[in-house]
Amino acid sequence: MTEFDDRDDPVLAEPTDGDPDGDPPTGISGNKEVGAIAHLYRAEVYRSTVWRQRLDQTTNWAVISTGIGLSAAFASERASPFPIVLVGALCIMFLMLEARRYRFFYVWRFRARVLEIAFYVPMLRGEGAQIPLDRGTALSDDYVKPQYRISMIRSVGRRLRRNYGWIFAILGAAYFAKIAIHPTDVDNFAHFMRRAHIGPIPGWLALICGVAFHIGWITLAWKTWWDERTDKTKMADFLKSREDVNFRPPTKGVTPMKADD
């Protein structure tokens, strides 16, 4: 027998209960362990709440900036539509900032959701507080090696569909209204192009850039939505395996509650 014989190591020794994975026969069921999991859940919910509030802050900034830009553009007959363009650029910056914050929010949301399904659902069903020690779960892997649960491009797409798409649509409509009907209706297409001028930028170039921008964000929002419908992440696979938890019976006249993205 050597000094480092595996048979004397309680970690490396072969299990005596016949479990091929080497895990103990029972899960996390002690009072200390259950208390620690409960505090962990509270911490993850608190983190997700804080980051959700930070998301609302950037959305509020974008809405306020949009209101200021529209007020400046329609303040007088000689006012330029350029403030609408500036507000659109500012909202793009807010969108990127909010998408980055959303990636952090989704980490804590992911952890809290897994704890709810794996820990609290069995308790509510009367099965007791017992978490099986299956190696390589989505939650344990996330604590060992934290990682973003959503890509930056997909995060941008979600924020576009939820908030910023509406803001950009309002800005686009306001820009068109400014050059088409404010202060009076345009007489012909040449008049429309002349009003679309922004300083040294000709009207046709400004319109092409605006149309390309709106086509771009609409395409991005649709593309990320389609990718989410077809992509299967580790979190999606985990929730898919618990269809009995996610199932909601049909209701009469009541719309089932959906998870907030």
Structure tokens at 229: 């419908």
What tokens appear for 182 in the block? 């404010």
Residue 122, preceding bond cis, omega within 30 degrees? no
Q: CA 140, CA 133: separation in Å to the nearest integer?
A: 10
Q: Which residue has the higher pLDDT, 9 or 184?
A: 184
Instruction: State the first-to-last Cα distance of the chain, in angstroms, to the nearest integer.
Output: 58
List the Cα angle 155/147/115 in 5-degree steps: 95
Give the mean pLDDT of 181-209.
86
Percentage of residues in the chain with pLDDT exceeding 90?
34
The 10 Å Cβ neighbour count of residue 15 is 12
pLDDT tens for 26-51 read 555 567 777 888 888 899 999 988 98
Asked if pLDDT for residue 11 goes beyond 50, the answer is no
**Which amino acid makes up residue 120?**
Y
The closest of 93, 98, 88 to 53, measured between CA atoms, is 98
pTM for the structure as a whole? 0.72
pLDDT band at 66 (very low <50, low <70, confident <90, very high): very high
Task: Report the distance separating Cα 34 and Cα 40, nearest Å.
Answer: 10
Q: Give CA–CA dist 16/58, Å, rounded.
A: 56
Backbone CA torsion sign across 194, 196, 200, 205: negative
Residue 19 has pLDDT above 80, yes or no: no
pLDDT band at 160 (very low <50, low <70, confident <90, very high): very high
Query: Which pLDDT tens digit goes with each residue over 90-130?
Result: 999 999 999 999 999 988 888 888 888 877 877 787 776 66
Residue 38 has, within 13 A of its CA and on its CB side, a CA count of 10
**Cβ contacts of 149 within 8 Å, gap of 6 or more:** 103, 106, 107, 110, 142, 233, 235
At residue 10, the pLDDT reads 38
The pLDDT score that the predictor gives to residue 65 is: 95
Q: Cβ(59)–Cβ(98) under 8 Å?
A: yes
Q: What is the pLDDT at residue 29?
A: 57
179-196 in b/e form (b: 16+ CB < 10 A) is beebeeebeeeeebbeeb
pLDDT, position 33: 75
Instruction: Check residue 247 and give its pLDDT.
Output: 47
- The contacts of residue 242 (CB under 8 Å, 6+ apart) are 117, 121
User: What pLDDT band is residue 255 in, cutting at 50, 70 and 90?
Assistant: low
Q: Identify the pLDDT of residue 158.
A: 93
Helix/strand/coil (H/E/C) assignment for every residue in 101-122: HHHHHHHHHHHHHHHHHHHHHH
Can you tell me the distance from the alpha carbon of 159 to that of 161, in angstroms, rounded to the nearest whole number?
5
Q: In the numeric block, which tokens belong to residue 83?
A: 């403030």
Comparing 15-29, 116-130, 160-174, 193-207, the range with the smallest average pLDDT is: 15-29
Asked if residue 171 has pLDDT above 90, the reply is yes
Give pLDDT, residue 34: 77
pLDDT for res 174 = 94
From the list 72, 54, 47, the residue with the least C-alpha distance to 171 is: 72
